[in-house]
Amino acid sequence: MNTTETCRRVLIVSTHPILAKALVQVTQEAGCQVIGTVADVPQALRLLPPHEGATVIVDYAGTQPREAEWLPLLQQTDSARRVILLTLTSNEMIVHEQRRVNFVTSTDLQLALGT
């Protein structure tokens, strides 16, 4: 997978303006197109077309991201979408991906398993 496939369009979700600005800069330096910054997931869902693949970076403040808050970003689409959850609180990042593979082969399954 090349950079343009995984990083074509990025939406940033953060309530912290300084962090959002830094994420925009890093995203653009990676060659991605930032399609917007919003303060919460409901705004992100309104901004993203339902069946469009995109990468969504979600800044979460707690020690554990609440699945009910970000899961609709993956459920909304049947195309490739990546949700990156990150927090400065514990300095970690969690990446969730959804990809649709038609006419699945054993090789596709092995790739999905990381083998």
The DSSP bridge partners found for residue 94 are 85
- The CATH classification number of 3-113 equals 3.40.50.2300
pTM assigned to the model: 0.76
On the CB side of 84, how many CA atoms lie within 13 Å of its CA?
15
Taking the domains of the chain in order of start, what are their residue ranges? Answer: 3-113
Map residue 93 onto helix, strand or coil: strand
Q: Quickly state the pLDDT bin for 2 (edges 50, 70, 90).
A: very low
* Per-residue pLDDT band at 1 (split at 50, 70, 90): very low
Q: What's residue 50's pLDDT?
A: 78
pLDDT tens digit sequence for 19-60? 899 999 999 999 999 999 999 889 998 998 877 788 899 988
Backbone angles phi and psi of 27, in degrees to 5: -65, -45
